[in-house]
Structure 1
């Protein structure tokens, strides 16, 4: 049973309502089965919630996501004076789209509609709470919610997206910091980026990492879904896009600066990734 909730990059969650509560006595979380997701953030005390038989005790400055369609309830164990914020929202997932998981490889500096069709897993329970910045964001959302103005619900939904994205990024950074393979990927990307103006050299990368290249290649592909060479090529094209936007260099000069064998090879690589030759792409730019 999947208890996780996901964001997508191509749409934001739609907030139904939002509020803040404080218990005046011993409190029991409602027994219910909802058609929407729930976000809880406790600012004082602690709240006890059970979701499909798994118990959570959400402490101060901790959060919990409850997934739609899963039965959740509580016991009379939430103490007097417990205060929390809640958001009810509908999932942004479009079942007609086959979403992929986001890799750690930097994005190209160019628009592709398919690029936004990926999901981000939200941290289920409190370890990645952002403490006071979370409460500040929730206060701002409630203030917007109380103002009867045009587009307020859209504004709140965008704010909710930003809050949830921050929670995801915080959890992701902690997870990567404790993951040896992710640490290797970060070092590989740093190396590739610093050598994006030259042809890829597996021997030099292996020496830099003090690791066998077969291990480097397999680890990188497993963690990112791309080969090392693909990532290096994308970073080179990123450099090319930056030069196109910020300089008056022509295609041949950009090819030379990035260390390609010749402009024809550069054009072939560029077109393979972006779907059009560099000369055509440059015609779209304001220069």
Structure 2
């Protein structure tokens, strides 16, 4: 399996997009090895069979496949009559010197941390979608843009392709999560968001009527973070709302949110946002109130 990995800070650089139909079923996928070019195929109708380095893939309507650069691939047989498909050829981003972690961003604050964009999307090798019309609409817009004479056409094509790939990534990830796991995470996040303070493991266990270690393991596996981290993010988001909407200093906000002291609150705030609360206050708009005398 030759996975396609895209850094979150880099667009897939499009070389060519297209749509093809084989009405008579006389074509098959070309035997080739594309230097530095990845291939994306999305089948609208019919069937396509492709072999990549002895791995066999069968594509039917609503399914897609990524073929990796510098790996030989070829057709296993002729297409079915009436087969139609879209394709995108795109260059790999520049070589990443430092290995990147797979993407995780179950983040609950409105501030997006810089390291969020220093990860990679591991795109599904092969998959199928439940709403093919949604993806064909995106691909039709790509084809339309490709025909334009706009001087920034390459950038627009790459941007639109990235949006398409992100949707496929999101759909693939969501489809792999077991319904029971989804229910556990949804229940946990609801409990944490509605709480007025940080909950202990015992309190979470009682509220969910489940073993805390089991819930914690599932949550970390699916989100990439601990329940404590998640609760801290919720509290810091509340802190930022207080800073924006009320005249509060750090000690007041810390006390309102149930932190043991302002020093600990400041430490958690900086860990979540990457800056001290005093710096955040200086960088953002604040609400001021006039006194009753109108001064």
Tell me whether the two structures share a fold, i.e. TM-score over 0.5.
Answer: yes
After superposition, the Cα gap between the structure-2 partners of 1:95 and 1:89, relative to the gap in structure 1 and judged at 3 Å, is: same
Match of 1:85 in 2: 86
The answer on 1:16 being equivalent to 2:22 is no
Does the 8 Å CA contact 2:127/2:172 hold for their aligned counterparts? no
| Gap regions ≥5 residues in structure 1 | none
Match of 1:185 in 2: 185
Q: Secondary structure at the match of 2:128?
A: helix
RMSD: 2.3
Match of 2:40 in 1: 39
After superposition, the Cα gap between the structure-2 partners of 1:255 and 1:172, relative to the gap in structure 1 and judged at 3 Å, is: same
Match of 1:255 in 2: 254
Q: Secondary structure at the match of 1:281?
A: helix
Does the 8 Å CA contact 2:65/2:125 hold for their aligned counterparts? yes
Shift of 1:7: 3.0
Shift of 1:20: 0.9
Match of 1:119 in 2: 120
Q: Secondary structure at the match of 1:55?
A: strand
Shift of 1:244: 2.8
Between the two proteins, the alignment pairs up a number of residues equal to 284
Task: Name whichever of 5-14 and 265-274 sits farther off.
Answer: 265-274
Q: Distance in 1 between matches of 2:128 and 2:94?
A: 24
Does the 8 Å CA contact 2:138/2:164 hold for their aligned counterparts? yes
After superposition, the Cα gap between the structure-2 partners of 1:246 and 1:16, relative to the gap in structure 1 and judged at 3 Å, is: farther
Does the 8 Å CA contact 1:97/1:117 hold for their aligned counterparts? no
Does the 8 Å CA contact 2:113/2:274 hold for their aligned counterparts? no
Structure (1 or 2) with the larger CA radius of gyration? 2
After superposition, the Cα gap between the structure-2 partners of 1:185 and 1:32, relative to the gap in structure 1 and judged at 3 Å, is: same
Q: Distance in 2 between matches of 1:119 and 1:108?
A: 21
| Gap regions ≥5 residues in structure 2 | 287-295
Correspondence list, 1:169-184, <5 A? 169-176=170-177, 178=178, 180-181=180-181, 183-184=183-184
Cα displacement string for residues 1-48 of structure 1 (whole angstroms, at most 9, x for unaligned residues): x42212332121111110111114311110011121111111122212
Shift of 1:111: 4.0
Q: Normalised by the size of structure 2, how large is the TM-score?
A: 0.87
Does the 8 Å CA contact 2:242/2:253 hold for their aligned counterparts? yes
Q: Distance in 1 between matches of 2:130 and 2:164?
A: 10
After superposition, the Cα gap between the structure-2 partners of 1:217 and 1:187, relative to the gap in structure 1 and judged at 3 Å, is: same
Match of 1:164 in 2: 165
After superposition, the Cα gap between the structure-2 partners of 1:190 and 1:12, relative to the gap in structure 1 and judged at 3 Å, is: farther
Shift of 1:66: 1.1
Q: Normalised by the size of structure 1, how large is the TM-score?
A: 0.89
Match of 2:55 in 1: 54
Does the 8 Å CA contact 1:63/1:125 hold for their aligned counterparts? yes
Does the 8 Å CA contact 1:37/1:67 hold for their aligned counterparts? yes
